[in-house]
Amino acid sequence: MGGLFGIVSQTDCVADLYYGTDYHSHLGTKRGGMAVRNAHVFHRAIHNIENSYFRTKFEAELASFHGRQGIGVISDTDPQPLIIGSHLGTFGIVTVGRINNLDELVDQAFARKGNFSGTSDGIANPTEMVAKLICQQDSFEAGIEAAQEAIRGSCSLILLTEKGIYAARDRLGRTPLVVGRRPGAFAVTSESSAFPNLGFGVDYFLGPGEILRLTADGYEQRCAPGPRMQICSFLWVYYGYPASEYEGINVEEVRYRCGAALARRDDVQADFVAGIPDSGIGHALGYAGERKLPYRRPFVKYTPTWPRSFMPQNQEMRDLVARMKLIPVRRLIEGRRLLFCDDSIVRGTQLRENVQVLFDCGACQVHMRLACPTLIFPCEFLNFSSSRSTLDLAGRKIIKKLEGAEDRNLDDYARAGSAKNLEMIEHIREQLHLSSLIYQRLDDLVAAIGLPREQLCTHCWDGSSYF
């Protein structure tokens, strides 16, 4: 995944850029970067954020940043922003997305005797590739359109140029961009949760493929949105921050509706409802509210120092870490029937350990409810974490076991309530030692989000790929 933030202001924008970019930290764990432009000078810094926070890493050098325009990025992949010299002028660029045909585009560039300067491990930097595609044209607008045309996959981006900031959402709108406004400044962000504390109000949701140019005085459309959308449903289910909105629809509210939908189809007996922190909490509150059951916290996350997963060096420590974030509250667990909500099950290894801890603490029953259907098709459009390959998926493993082949009868397994679907879920339940296990139906999920199904990407559940 990853997230973008850009700002143009009538006054210095560095503090806003710093905090605004930091508010995307939940979207990536690898690198953070910022660039500002001041007269004709660009100042840029990139840091590894695998072992420390974005803000911690940039704090020391913040005083050396000055400027009224800036872009920032949290990246799970390549180092960004890049500062590019070109016939279009010098510009900065940040991107988020995934280029499935990168090798092919690189070969085309080589055929033109183009070269890549930020190459490492023999692999071209995708953001440099995007920049190169843009520079092949005679304007930023034409360049971005040509890049969107050439890229198979998805790429939303922000450019920092002497004419202002260009914000461009990917062709099918898989990853959103939102414009915010406050007196004297405009900003564009992946997550609108970055706005309220910086004084910005949500002003405009970019459409699929749309290009805007922002200056301190306003913004104008440079390319109209396309007719078709495939926004990632998982943004609401898992990725997005609860305070964010996409297409005008708030994440936290969707999660309440997801939980409520699960509750309406459920009558299991439970002493209380709980969420697996953090992403299961919203779903669980919705469930508890609907069924008028108490909401309790049998797992408390130790946020003072385990806010997100920094990676310790050796494996022995790493195993220890896996157990450390969530602290069980034995007094709440012992002798109780617990119902947990979570967003989804990917591999299930972590969840299995959590369930074991609950039974070790004396739980009578542990029921699990998931906010979305079983994951069956790996994402081909965004940079999910590398572990999300096909056979990592708990559902897919079961299918292989049952069918003796990796990809037989997938549609049957995906259809809620079918015999194969129920068999697959029963196998997953057993593996996780759960008392019961229910997944959300896809139509309930689509209804909870509230957009027409054809505007949502639901590929990971039903393998669909409309466009």
Could you list the residues known to form a binding site, using ranges.
232, 279, 342-343, 379, 457, 460
Give the contact letters, 207-226, x = binds to a second copy (CB under 8 A), - = no. --------------------
The nearer residue to a second copy, 143 or 209, going by C-beta atoms, is 143
Decide if 293 contacts 367 (C-beta within 8 A).
no
Half-sphere exposure of residue 154: CA atoms within 13 angstroms, side-chain side = 24
Cα dihedral 422/426/429/430 (nearest 10): -170
Residue 51 makes contact with a second copy by CB under 8 A: yes
Phi/psi class of residue 452: alpha, beta or left (left: φ > 0; alpha: ψ in -120 to 50)? Answer: beta
Closest CA to 93 of 134, 142, 41: 134
CA distance 404 to 398: 10
The nearer residue to a second copy, 118 or 184, going by C-beta atoms, is 118
Footprint on residues 177-206 left by a second copy (CB under 8 A) = 193, 196-197
Residue 55 makes contact with a second copy by CB under 8 A: yes
Residue 385 makes contact with a second copy by CB under 8 A: no
The nearer residue to a second copy, 67 or 395, going by C-beta atoms, is 67
Residue 81 makes contact with a second copy by CB under 8 A: no
The DSSP H or E segment spanning 324 is helix 315-324
Residue 297 makes contact with a second copy by CB under 8 A: yes
Footprint on residues 234-273 left by a second copy (CB under 8 A) = 241-243, 245, 250, 252-253, 256
CB of 367 to a second copy, least distance (A): 19
Which residues are annotated as part of the binding site for [4Fe-4S] cluster? Answer: 232, 379, 457, 460
Decide if 235 contacts 385 (C-beta within 8 A).
no
* DSSP, residue by residue, 188-239: EES-GGGSGGGTPEEEEEPPTT-EEEEETTEEEEEEPPPS---EETHIIIII
Q: Kindly state the DSSP code that residue 433 receives in the 8-state scheme.
A: T
Q: Which amino acid would we find at residue 327?
A: I
Decide if 228 contacts 279 (C-beta within 8 A).
no
Footprint on residues 100-159 left by a second copy (CB under 8 A) = 106, 110-111, 113-125, 128, 131-132, 135-136
Please state whether beta strands 69-75 and 272-275 pair in parallel, antiparallel, or not at all (unpaired). Answer: unpaired
Position among 224, 317, 419, 422 found at the interface with a second copy (CB under 8 A): 317
CB of 461 to a second copy, least distance (A): 26
Q: Which one of 181-189, 225-233, 287-295, 434-442 is the stretch in contact with a second copy (CB under 8 A)?
A: 287-295
Position among 10, 100, 221, 303 found at the interface with a second copy (CB under 8 A): 303
The nearer residue to a second copy, 219 or 241, going by C-beta atoms, is 241
